[in-house]
Structure 1
Amino acid sequence: MYTPSSRKTLFLLSALLIMALALRLYRVGTYSIYFDEKSTLLISQSVVLEGYNQKDVFSKTYFTPAEFWKPKTFNDFIEANIRGDIGNSPAYYGVLWVWLKIFGLSDASLRMPSVIFSTLIVALLFVFVRRHFKSDALALTSAAIATIEPFFVAYSHIARNYSMTFFLTLLGTHLFLLIMERVRNASRNSKQESLAGLYLAYGFVFVTSVLSHYLTVTVFLCHGLYALLYLRNSRSWVALGLTGIVGLGLVSLWFIFGGGKYTFFTLDYQAKFYRNIALTNPYKSGFGTILPATIPNITVRAIPIFTDLFMLTNGVIAALVSLRNVLIAVGVGAAVTFVIHQYIDVRKPPVWVYAAVAVLLLLGLPFYVFDPVRALILSVVLPFVYLIGRYIVENVGREQKPQVVMLFLLAFVPTFFLLFMAWRSGHTFGITQRYSGFSFPYVCIFVAMGIQKLASLRWWFSVPIAVVLLIQAGNVIQLIADLYADQAPKYTFFSTPRIANPYWSSAQKLKELYMPGDTILYPNKERPIYSEKIDKSFTDLSLLDAQLVNVYLPKEATYIQRIDPVERNRIVLVKGKTGEKITIFDFKGKTYRYGE
């Protein structure tokens, strides 16, 4: 039976989930799929980019949608996964295939699994915090932060594996901590409890996670480190070991017999390829800035990864370009922290303390030389970290202290692993937020701890810091607005907004205008070949535009189509009776193909 308190909690959680879903659904199908999403779309249909498993279709002069949609086999799916995503994410593509079979194909439908998993993260985070930290208030605050976290909102609009992997790894951590709790309780009570169901569930999530994205292993590495620190039960070590061995065995089947066998070759090739760019042409290669993996270069690339992990510091990288800003902000923050620490428990402090925090924060403003608002936000970081520490010391029980260690591991190890891999590979190309995004749910908990502690302070401490946090909240809201406008490059990869999907609109025009005897001509986009084994298809013609339009054409259609070897940009319908050429779409200057 629900108490009034639990009813209020349930109501607030429901409101958060509705808000989370609304934020993720808004404009989800507005902008065209970008290059990685094109890979997702074709792989989900068991189609290989550039037609490697469609030689019977594209080796002829003419082809039809019916030939394009010839039934595919499981081997076609593996081949598409190999060549479209180096054998990564088969579990995600399987889920997406089922979803599209049930709900049909559109940009919104393609992205809908990401929307759902991103919303489920909010619900699961509430359950996770409530269960392992015994606090409804902390659980609701954590869920609220996840609801508006720009990273989660952005990746809910991307038809890739990321939202699914963030959810799965959080679920895996939840199951792991449940196992640890049951083991600890059994040791105290000298009573053995069957954990077979939990181990089975944990093993399933482990396998599914790794087959959703290989880098999820960093989360399970954190579980192993936690076990080394706290698990002293030999039977549990055996059970965890068997779970891990069986799980790795199942994952290995994919590497031995499935698409994963292609992964190691490609990763080795890419490491050499990007390292060569870093050493010879780091700034103008067409792949963005790729620097040699020196300690200074890795540090520079890592700073925005770590700052953007925390909602409080998201975007403060702009203030870090000035050493003077940093020194002043850190000095102000240290002074504020000292005042709070000295007088936090004093009921009637000296009169000057009432204004001290506000005055100190304002004192730095005239001296910041660049982006003073961001520098002001930076100045409350130290006090906020202090408040997180106070919350942990005062509000986290002795039994929950190990869970805090787990949070620290999960908040930082995935990114440090990414930096280590960059150092080994010799280039900085892979240092990007999405590859360590598994940390975000746990960072949300830390931020929630700081907010909870801030709310308990006396007004002369809390109000000035809260005002600065509200300023940062405004920045976050603006960032989310930029996401919806397709103008947030660090999340959407675009500063110039995309239009709606040109492949879908082209297919609709063709269905409307095509008559028997007409011919559809597709452009032959010149594409670079970096590796004969990876990039080279069976033909020198570019087939991707033709493939993507055919995805949206009727599966039984017999439209006559071919690739025009000399046309680079236009999809053209040639009318059979008159020879009139109708331009269906012109890609010239558009940002839709091959990451242009």
Structure 2
Amino acid sequence: MKFPPIYSILLIIALAFLLRVYKSGTYALYLDEKYTVVISQGIVMEGANQKDVFFVPGKKYFTPKEFWKEKTFADYIEANIRSDIGNSPIYYGVLWVWLKLFGFSDFSARFPSVIFSTMVVGMVYVFVRRHFRSESLALLSAFLTAIEPFFVAYSHMARNYSMSFFLTLLATHLFLLIVERQRQGRRDTPWKLYTGYGLVFVLSLLSHYLTITVFLCHALYALLFIRPLKNWLPFIYTAVVGLGVVSLWFIFGGGKYAFQTLAYQAQLYGSLAQTNPYNNGFGIILPATLSNVAIRSAPLWADLLMFSNGLGQIEALGIRNMFIAFVLGIGALVALHRYLQTTSSWLAVVFGLLLVVGMPLYTVPRLAYVVLAAFPSFIYLLVLYLRRHVIRKDRSLIWFMAILAIVPTLFLVVMSFKNNHTYGLMQRYSGFSFPYSIIFVAMMLRQFWLMPGTIKLILGVVLVIQSYLVANLLVRIYQDRDPKYTYFINPRGPNPYIQTAERIKVNYAPGDTILYPSIKLNPRDSIEKTYSPYSIMDAQWTNFYLPKDAEYWQRMDTTQTDKVILIKGNTGKRIEIFDFQGTKYRY
């Protein structure tokens, strides 16, 4: 009995949810997530809008109750523009509502990302089923989306990315529905469809500014494939109105620091690339030479396709080894092509041998080189699928998917050359491309399944190897030790601020005083400069986990930088609550 598709997609969505919710709250919030949470609560990191709480002349103490006092709308605006250049206000609003409804915790702060990332899986299924008219391709695409390490990793972060990935895919879906009706010559396109597209356009831009790259793809598609030109008009009107709505956010506060900060960051990172590319506190930032950009962007291109995930690590794999694998791969591709024309069994043997014969030649034999050698053959499978299974009228759709898969990363490459540094070459900034590249991977796998038995066996072994490598990547993500996606080599421990707050609640008695460490600040620009020359971050973050109505006496201790200390009021005894040990526990 055939398994109903509805049950299949529900199982896939359930799998996606489990993969995303697993260990979601295990590790402490890292720096960007901390900014996310404080912005959502209308608080500026380091307290630019909390002057009446910390370091007030003549005021000896502050309390959690003062820290948690009601915030004004202006506080939320200031928190957003100071801490994230006005980016993602819609996401912070969603998170604010979520935390109001379900309470504050690390797990709760990350849960919207889990939900949006799971929704991406369902949206991929709807998208492929509707626009490619293939149930099997839709289910396979949804399954690949469910297990994609990139989506799993970012579902574990209290950041805007999962929301933006969902919104841009939804926008592309609505865009194609409108185009389809135009091509059918229908003049009754519901106004709700245009309104929905415009609304998602606005929400996308206000979830992350770089979603504009997806809408540039929409515009490029219209330029190349939409005729007559009058059909452009609804999209032009939508873009003008949408940008007008977004501009209101910039005009009324959201853009106060945006362009100033972007210009400053371009100058800062460009300067660091020239003077201190390795030990600058931001990671490796190289000058934007052709070779540097190629090396730094290669992982972004390779990881878009799950079967080539990890094959862009040029520095780790070695140029010589990659060259050998690629040359052998071209030879294997020729053998595969000839085999499909002649079905000569010796060509199948040659094909398999060429994939593995390079092992003695590599400086370090790795299974990844076998996958790399098979890369040209998998691209060939995609070409075969497109030639044999995509009808002529759908070819513009294939070009559209290719544009969507390429342009966001290409935009980062262009901006890298423009700003003369490689800092912005990060997968999360072009992650909008993943749903479309996954569709291409699904097509490759469909064609793989149609291959003759011997070829299917050989490439099946390669797929097993790559599946093992991808599964190992997922394990590292869950262990918090994959710097590509989790940013950490050594796993984070439990949240130190939760531990600090719990120890305070156990040890505190009326009359006691809590002292927080204060690191001397070195602000780089006017946005980072607050009223205090000392950091209050540790105090802020501990108060997030203390009771909101507590009257604990707290103050800053500018004489030391690492320890939270409780002073007993009746004896003056000092109890060490927590030692951050420099950066060891400050993630």
Instruction: Report the Cα offset of residue 487 of structure 1.
Output: 0.5
Measured after TM superposition, the shift of residue 211 of structure 1 is 0.5
Which residue of structure 2 lines up, in the alignment, with residue 63 of structure 1? 62
For 1:273-296, what per-residue CA distance to the aligned partner results, in whole angstroms no more than 9, with x for missing partners?
111111211122222121111222
User: Could you say what secondary structure the match of 1:258 adopts?
Assistant: helix
1:556 corresponds to 2:559: no
For 1:520, which of 510, 514, 517 is the aligned residue? 514
* SS across alignment from 2:177: helix
Aligned to 1:543, which of 518, 536, 539?
A: 536
Matched, 1:243 2:238: yes
Question: Structure 1 stretch 392-401 or stretch 327-336: which is displaced more?
Answer: 327-336
For 1:552 and 1:70, the matched residues in 2 are separated by: 15
Q: Does 2:480 align with 1:481? A: no
Distance 1:295 1:319, change over 3 A: closer
Shift of 1:364: 2.3
The answer to whether 1:219 aligns with 2:218 is no
Bigger mean CA deviation after superposition, 332-341 or 429-438:
332-341
Tell me the matched-pair count.
583
Give SS of 2:484's match: helix
Contact 1:87 1:260 in 2 (8 A): yes
Which residue in the other structure is 1:374 paired with? 368
Q: What TM-score do the two structures reach when normalised by structure 2?
A: 0.97
Establish whether residue 571 from structure 1 lines up as the match of residue 564 from structure 2.
Answer: yes
Give the share of equivalent positions with the same residue, in percent.
51
Q: Distance in 2 between matches of 1:529 and 1:412?
A: 37
Matching residue within 473, 496, 506 for 2:490: 496
What is the CA distance between 1:590 and its match in structure 2?
4.3
2:320 to 324, 328, 332: 324
Alignment of 1:14-29 (within 5 A): 14-29=10-25
Q: Distance in 2 between matches of 1:571 and 1:326?
A: 51
CA 88–319 in structure 1, closer or farther in 2 if over 3 Å, else same: closer
Match of 1:139 in 2: 138
* Residue in structure 1 matched with residue 461 of structure 2 by the alignment: 467
TM-score by length of structure 1 reads 0.95
Deviations 1:306-335 (A, max 9, x none): 112221111123567433322322222222
> Which residue of the other structure, out of 328, 333, 340, is the alignment partner of 1:337?
333
**Which residue in 2 is equivalent to 1:436?**
430
Greater mean alpha carbon deviation, residues 289-298 or residues 99-108:
289-298
Task: Decide whether the 8 Å contact of 1:322 with 1:370 is kept in 2.
Answer: no
Give 5+ residue unaligned stretches, structure 1: none
Distance across 2 between alignment mates of 1:333 and 1:209: 40
Cα separation, partners in 2 of 1:555 and 1:387, compared to 1, 3 Å: same
Which letter maps to 2:110? R
CA distance in 1, matches of 2:77, 2:62: 24
Partner deviation per Cα, 1:66-117 (whole Å, 9 max, x = no partner): 1111110111000000111111110100000010000101110000000011
Equivalents in 2 of 1:411, 1:137: separation in Å? 21
Counterparts of 1:547 and 1:574 in 2: how far apart (Å)? 19
Which deviates more from structure 2 when the two are superposed, residues 420-429 or residues 211-220?
Answer: 420-429
> Deviation per CA, 1:539-596, whole angstroms, max 9, x where unpaired?
1121111111111111111111000111200111111111121211110044443x6x
Q: Could you tell me how far apart the structure 2 residues matched to 1:464 and 1:564 are? A: 66
**1:35-54, aligned counterparts within 5 Å?**
35-54=31-50
Q: Please provide the CA RMSD for this pair.
A: 1.5
- 1:330-369 mapped onto 2 (5 Å cutoff): 330-344=326-340, 349-369=343-363
Alpha-carbon distance between aligned partners in 2 of 1:578 and 1:92, rounded to the nearest angstrom: 48
The 1:282–1:350 alpha-carbon spacing in structure 2 relative to 1, beyond 3 Å, is closer
Match of 2:178 in 1: 179
Correspondence for 1:158 = 157
Write out per-residue CA displacement over residues 321-356 of structure 1, whole angstroms, 9 at most, x where no aligned residue: 43332232222222222232233265xx23313433
CA distance in 1, matches of 2:348, 2:428: 43
Distance 1:136 1:508 in 2: 51
Deviations along 1:458-481, one digit per CA (max 9) or x if unpaired, are 111111111111111101111111
Distance 1:296 1:350, change over 3 A: closer
Whichever residue aligns with residue 126 of structure 1, its letter is Y
Name the residue aligned to 1:104. Answer: 103
Deviation at residue 361 of structure 1 after TM alignment = 1.7
Q: Report which stretch shifted further, 262-271 or 323-332.
A: 323-332
| Code of the aligned partner of 1:150 | P
- Displacement, 1:205? 0.6
1:508-557 deviations in Å (ceiling 9; x for gaps): 222222111011111102333212x0211111121111111111111111
Is 2:441 the partner of 1:447?
A: yes
